[in-house]
Chain A
Amino acid sequence: MADEKDPQLLEINPSTQVWKRLEVKLDRFALQRRRRLLYRRTAAVAAVVALLVVWGRQHWPPNNTDPYAFLFVPPAVLEELSPVDGCASVCSSLEALHSLSSWYRVREKK
Protein backbone atom coordinates (compact mmCIF):
# COMPACT_ATOMS: atom_id res chain seq x y z
CA MET A 1 0.00 0.00 0.00
CA ALA A 2 1.30 3.45 -0.81
CA ASP A 3 2.27 5.74 1.98
CA GLU A 4 -1.08 7.34 2.66
CA LYS A 5 0.00 9.15 5.79
CA ASP A 6 1.51 11.86 3.67
CA PRO A 7 -0.24 12.08 0.31
CA GLN A 8 1.59 15.33 -0.40
CA LEU A 9 4.91 13.65 -0.90
CA LEU A 10 6.38 14.08 -4.36
CA GLU A 11 7.75 10.57 -4.12
CA ILE A 12 5.67 7.70 -2.77
CA ASN A 13 7.06 4.32 -1.86
CA PRO A 14 5.07 1.55 -3.52
CA SER A 15 4.10 -1.58 -1.61
CA THR A 16 6.34 -4.63 -1.89
CA GLN A 17 3.51 -6.41 -3.69
CA VAL A 18 4.05 -4.27 -6.79
CA TRP A 19 7.59 -5.58 -7.33
CA LYS A 20 6.45 -9.18 -6.72
CA ARG A 21 3.68 -8.84 -9.30
CA LEU A 22 6.09 -7.16 -11.70
CA GLU A 23 8.58 -10.01 -11.26
CA VAL A 24 5.90 -12.57 -12.17
CA LYS A 25 5.06 -10.55 -15.27
CA LEU A 26 8.73 -10.23 -16.23
CA ASP A 27 9.24 -13.99 -15.78
CA ARG A 28 6.33 -14.66 -18.12
CA PHE A 29 7.74 -12.18 -20.63
CA ALA A 30 11.20 -13.81 -20.51
CA LEU A 31 9.64 -17.25 -21.03
CA GLN A 32 7.63 -16.03 -24.02
CA ARG A 33 10.75 -14.41 -25.47
CA ARG A 34 12.72 -17.65 -25.10
CA ARG A 35 9.88 -19.57 -26.76
CA ARG A 36 9.70 -17.12 -29.63
CA LEU A 37 13.46 -17.43 -30.14
CA LEU A 38 13.22 -21.21 -30.08
CA TYR A 39 10.39 -21.20 -32.65
CA ARG A 40 12.38 -18.89 -34.88
CA ARG A 41 15.48 -21.08 -34.66
CA THR A 42 13.45 -24.23 -35.29
CA ALA A 43 11.83 -22.60 -38.31
CA ALA A 44 15.23 -21.54 -39.64
CA VAL A 45 16.69 -25.03 -39.19
CA ALA A 46 13.58 -26.58 -40.77
CA ALA A 47 14.01 -24.25 -43.75
CA VAL A 48 17.63 -25.34 -44.18
CA VAL A 49 16.66 -29.01 -43.89
CA ALA A 50 13.89 -28.50 -46.47
CA LEU A 51 16.40 -26.86 -48.77
CA LEU A 52 18.71 -29.82 -48.30
CA VAL A 53 15.96 -32.30 -49.09
CA VAL A 54 15.10 -30.44 -52.30
CA TRP A 55 18.77 -30.27 -53.14
CA GLY A 56 19.22 -33.96 -52.38
CA ARG A 57 16.28 -34.98 -54.56
CA GLN A 58 17.67 -33.08 -57.50
CA HIS A 59 21.04 -34.77 -57.16
CA TRP A 60 20.01 -38.27 -56.10
CA PRO A 61 20.35 -40.90 -57.50
CA PRO A 62 23.64 -39.66 -58.85
CA ASN A 63 23.94 -39.82 -62.61
CA ASN A 64 27.66 -39.50 -62.37
CA THR A 65 30.23 -41.36 -60.40
CA ASP A 66 30.15 -39.01 -57.42
CA PRO A 67 27.74 -40.50 -54.84
CA TYR A 68 28.23 -37.53 -52.53
CA ALA A 69 27.28 -34.82 -54.96
CA PHE A 70 24.01 -34.12 -53.12
CA LEU A 71 26.00 -33.06 -50.09
CA PHE A 72 27.49 -30.20 -51.98
CA VAL A 73 25.76 -26.94 -51.26
CA PRO A 74 27.47 -24.06 -53.08
CA PRO A 75 29.52 -21.83 -50.76
CA ALA A 76 27.43 -18.83 -51.86
CA VAL A 77 24.30 -20.46 -50.43
CA LEU A 78 26.07 -21.27 -47.19
CA GLU A 79 27.30 -17.70 -46.91
CA GLU A 80 23.75 -16.50 -47.42
CA LEU A 81 22.35 -18.79 -44.76
CA SER A 82 25.04 -18.47 -42.10
CA PRO A 83 23.88 -15.15 -40.64
CA VAL A 84 20.28 -16.42 -40.31
CA ASP A 85 19.52 -17.01 -36.66
CA GLY A 86 20.14 -20.65 -35.81
CA CYS A 87 21.51 -21.64 -39.21
CA ALA A 88 25.18 -21.09 -38.50
CA SER A 89 25.65 -24.51 -36.89
CA VAL A 90 23.78 -26.25 -39.73
CA CYS A 91 25.93 -24.47 -42.30
CA SER A 92 29.18 -25.38 -40.57
CA SER A 93 27.95 -29.00 -40.39
CA LEU A 94 27.27 -28.90 -44.13
CA GLU A 95 30.73 -27.56 -44.78
CA ALA A 96 32.20 -30.33 -42.66
CA LEU A 97 30.12 -32.92 -44.55
CA HIS A 98 31.29 -31.51 -47.81
CA SER A 99 34.94 -31.78 -46.80
CA LEU A 100 34.25 -35.31 -45.63
CA SER A 101 32.64 -36.21 -48.96
CA SER A 102 35.65 -34.79 -50.78
CA TRP A 103 37.87 -36.93 -48.62
CA TYR A 104 35.76 -40.05 -49.48
CA ARG A 105 35.87 -39.17 -53.13
CA VAL A 106 39.64 -39.02 -53.04
CA ARG A 107 39.81 -42.26 -51.10
CA GLU A 108 37.46 -44.12 -53.49
CA LYS A 109 39.42 -43.00 -56.52
CA LYS A 110 42.50 -44.58 -55.00
Chain B
Amino acid sequence: MIITGCRNLDRRSQQALYDRYAPMALGVCRRFIADPMAAEDVLMEGFFKVLTKIGSFQGVGSLEGWIRRIMVNESLMHLRRHNELKFAQDLGPDVVLRAEDPSVLDELGARDILGMLDRMPAGYRTVFSLYVLEGYKHREIAELLGISINTSKSQLILARQRMEELLRTRLGYP
Protein backbone atom coordinates (compact mmCIF):
# COMPACT_ATOMS: atom_id res chain seq x y z
CA MET B 1 0.00 0.00 0.00
CA ILE B 2 2.68 2.49 1.08
CA ILE B 3 4.99 1.30 -1.69
CA THR B 4 2.27 1.80 -4.33
CA GLY B 5 1.64 5.29 -2.97
CA CYS B 6 5.35 6.09 -3.08
CA ARG B 7 5.53 4.89 -6.68
CA ASN B 8 2.81 7.42 -7.52
CA LEU B 9 4.80 10.11 -5.66
CA ASP B 10 2.04 10.43 -3.06
CA ARG B 11 3.42 12.66 -0.30
CA ARG B 12 1.54 10.96 2.57
CA SER B 13 2.87 7.55 1.60
CA GLN B 14 6.36 8.99 1.24
CA GLN B 15 6.17 10.47 4.72
CA ALA B 16 4.80 7.22 6.15
CA LEU B 17 7.72 5.30 4.64
CA TYR B 18 10.17 7.90 5.93
CA ASP B 19 8.69 7.84 9.44
CA ARG B 20 8.90 4.08 9.54
CA TYR B 21 12.43 3.57 8.24
CA ALA B 22 14.34 6.84 8.87
CA PRO B 23 15.47 5.95 12.44
CA MET B 24 16.89 2.62 11.23
CA ALA B 25 18.48 4.33 8.22
CA LEU B 26 20.10 7.05 10.35
CA GLY B 27 21.41 4.32 12.65
CA VAL B 28 23.15 2.75 9.63
CA CYS B 29 24.58 6.10 8.47
CA ARG B 30 25.89 6.98 11.93
CA ARG B 31 27.87 3.73 12.08
CA PHE B 32 29.86 4.89 9.07
CA ILE B 33 29.89 8.64 9.63
CA ALA B 34 30.92 10.03 12.99
CA ASP B 35 29.60 13.55 12.43
CA PRO B 36 25.84 13.55 13.26
CA MET B 37 25.09 16.47 10.91
CA ALA B 38 26.90 14.81 8.00
CA ALA B 39 25.06 11.56 8.77
CA GLU B 40 21.73 13.41 8.50
CA ASP B 41 22.80 14.85 5.14
CA VAL B 42 23.59 11.34 3.95
CA LEU B 43 20.24 10.12 5.31
CA MET B 44 18.45 12.79 3.29
CA GLU B 45 20.32 11.96 0.08
CA GLY B 46 19.79 8.26 0.66
CA PHE B 47 16.08 8.65 1.33
CA PHE B 48 15.70 10.83 -1.74
CA LYS B 49 17.07 7.91 -3.74
CA VAL B 50 14.78 5.48 -1.91
CA LEU B 51 11.68 7.57 -2.65
CA THR B 52 12.51 8.37 -6.27
CA LYS B 53 13.78 4.92 -7.24
CA ILE B 54 11.26 2.83 -5.35
CA GLY B 55 9.87 1.78 -8.73
CA SER B 56 13.00 -0.33 -9.20
CA PHE B 57 12.36 -2.25 -5.96
CA GLN B 58 11.24 -5.62 -7.28
CA GLY B 59 9.96 -6.97 -3.98
CA VAL B 60 12.77 -9.55 -3.90
CA GLY B 61 13.99 -9.50 -0.29
CA SER B 62 12.76 -7.10 2.34
CA LEU B 63 12.22 -3.40 1.80
CA GLU B 64 14.26 -2.74 4.94
CA GLY B 65 17.21 -4.65 3.45
CA TRP B 66 16.92 -2.65 0.23
CA ILE B 67 16.87 0.66 2.13
CA ARG B 68 19.82 -0.50 4.27
CA ARG B 69 21.90 -1.24 1.17
CA ILE B 70 21.14 2.21 -0.25
CA MET B 71 22.17 3.83 3.03
CA VAL B 72 25.40 1.81 3.18
CA ASN B 73 26.27 2.79 -0.42
CA GLU B 74 25.37 6.43 0.19
CA SER B 75 27.53 6.50 3.34
CA LEU B 76 30.47 4.97 1.47
CA MET B 77 30.04 7.52 -1.32
CA HIS B 78 30.13 10.31 1.26
CA LEU B 79 33.33 8.92 2.80
CA ARG B 80 34.94 8.62 -0.64
CA ARG B 81 33.90 12.15 -1.63
CA HIS B 82 35.50 13.54 1.50
CA ASN B 83 38.61 11.38 1.17
CA GLU B 84 37.97 9.85 4.55
CA LEU B 85 38.44 6.26 3.47
CA LYS B 86 42.07 5.66 4.27
CA PHE B 87 43.20 2.18 5.11
CA ALA B 88 46.11 1.21 7.32
CA GLN B 89 48.82 -1.07 5.93
CA ASP B 90 48.02 -4.74 5.45
CA LEU B 91 49.10 -7.22 8.07
CA GLY B 92 50.92 -10.37 7.04
CA PRO B 93 48.80 -13.40 6.07
CA ASP B 94 49.91 -15.31 9.21
CA VAL B 95 48.67 -12.49 11.43
CA VAL B 96 45.39 -12.49 9.57
CA LEU B 97 44.97 -16.23 10.15
CA ARG B 98 45.81 -16.04 13.84
CA ALA B 99 43.37 -13.24 14.40
CA GLU B 100 40.39 -15.44 13.61
CA ASP B 101 40.48 -16.40 17.31
CA PRO B 102 37.63 -15.17 19.44
CA SER B 103 38.42 -11.97 21.29
CA VAL B 104 37.00 -10.05 24.19
CA LEU B 105 34.85 -8.16 21.66
CA ASP B 106 32.82 -11.26 20.99
CA GLU B 107 31.50 -10.98 24.50
CA LEU B 108 30.30 -7.43 23.93
CA GLY B 109 26.83 -6.49 22.84
CA ALA B 110 26.21 -4.52 19.65
CA ARG B 111 25.29 -1.45 21.64
CA ASP B 112 28.64 -1.40 23.49
CA ILE B 113 30.49 -1.67 20.20
CA LEU B 114 28.46 1.07 18.55
CA GLY B 115 29.40 3.51 21.28
CA MET B 116 33.09 3.05 20.51
CA LEU B 117 32.78 3.28 16.74
CA ASP B 118 32.81 7.08 16.78
CA ARG B 119 36.33 7.06 18.19
CA MET B 120 37.80 4.98 15.39
CA PRO B 121 39.31 6.11 12.07
CA ALA B 122 36.93 5.94 9.10
CA GLY B 123 38.80 3.03 7.47
CA TYR B 124 38.54 0.78 10.52
CA ARG B 125 34.99 1.86 11.26
CA THR B 126 33.85 1.18 7.71
CA VAL B 127 35.20 -2.35 7.46
CA PHE B 128 34.12 -3.16 11.01
CA SER B 129 30.57 -1.89 10.41
CA LEU B 130 30.26 -3.72 7.11
CA TYR B 131 31.56 -7.01 8.50
CA VAL B 132 30.27 -7.14 12.05
CA LEU B 133 27.10 -5.08 11.91
CA GLU B 134 25.89 -5.36 8.33
CA GLY B 135 27.02 -8.96 7.82
CA TYR B 136 29.01 -8.46 4.61
CA LYS B 137 31.71 -11.02 3.71
CA HIS B 138 35.35 -9.96 3.23
CA ARG B 139 35.02 -10.67 -0.50
CA GLU B 140 31.99 -8.35 -0.73
CA ILE B 141 33.73 -5.65 1.31
CA ALA B 142 36.79 -5.87 -0.93
CA GLU B 143 34.60 -5.42 -4.04
CA LEU B 144 32.59 -2.60 -2.48
CA LEU B 145 35.61 -0.60 -1.33
CA GLY B 146 37.98 -1.52 -4.15
CA ILE B 147 40.53 -3.10 -1.82
CA SER B 148 42.02 -6.58 -1.52
CA ILE B 149 40.45 -9.25 0.69
CA ASN B 150 43.63 -9.20 2.79
CA THR B 151 43.28 -5.44 3.33
CA SER B 152 39.70 -5.96 4.45
CA LYS B 153 40.78 -8.64 6.93
CA SER B 154 43.66 -6.48 8.17
CA GLN B 155 41.38 -3.50 8.77
CA LEU B 156 39.02 -5.69 10.76
CA ILE B 157 41.81 -7.01 12.96
CA LEU B 158 43.21 -3.54 13.54
CA ALA B 159 39.73 -2.24 14.27
CA ARG B 160 39.20 -5.01 16.83
CA GLN B 161 42.57 -4.29 18.44
CA ARG B 162 41.75 -0.59 18.60
CA MET B 163 38.39 -1.40 20.15
CA GLU B 164 39.97 -3.66 22.73
CA GLU B 165 42.35 -0.84 23.63
CA LEU B 166 39.44 1.55 23.99
CA LEU B 167 37.58 -0.98 26.09
CA ARG B 168 40.54 -1.57 28.39
CA THR B 169 40.92 2.19 28.84
CA ARG B 170 37.24 2.49 29.59
CA LEU B 171 37.29 -0.33 32.12
CA GLY B 172 40.55 0.88 33.66
CA TYR B 173 42.64 -2.20 32.76
CA PRO B 174 46.35 -1.73 31.94
Binding site for B on A (CB under 8 A): 1-2, 4, 7-15, 17-19, 21-23, 25-26, 29-30, 33
Contact = CB atoms under 8 A, between A and B. Distances in A.
B48 A13 contact: no
A2 B30 CA distance: 10
Contact of B111 (A10, A14, A22, A29): A10
Given A7-B118, A22-B18, 4 more contacts: A1-B36, A2-B26, A8-B114, A10-B27
A22 to B, nearest CB: 5
A102 B11 CA distance: 50
Contacts of B88: none
B112 interface: yes
A7 B118 CA distance: 9
A18 B44 contact: yes
Contacts of A18: 22, 40, 43-44, 47
Interface in B34-48: 36-37, 39-40, 43-44, 47-48
A10 B110 contact: yes
- Could you tell me the dominant secondary structure of chain B's interface residues? helix
Given A2-B39, A7-B30, A15-B40, A22 B23 contact: no
For chain B, which range describes its interface: under 10, 10 to 19, 20 to 34, or 35 or more residues?
20 to 34
B91 interface: no
A101 B40 CA distance: 64
Given A19-B15, A22-B48, A7 B26 contact: no
A11 B36 contact: no
B103 interface: no
Contacts of A21: 44
A4 B27 CA distance: 12
A14 B26 contact: yes
Interface string B3-37: 00000010100110010001110110010000011
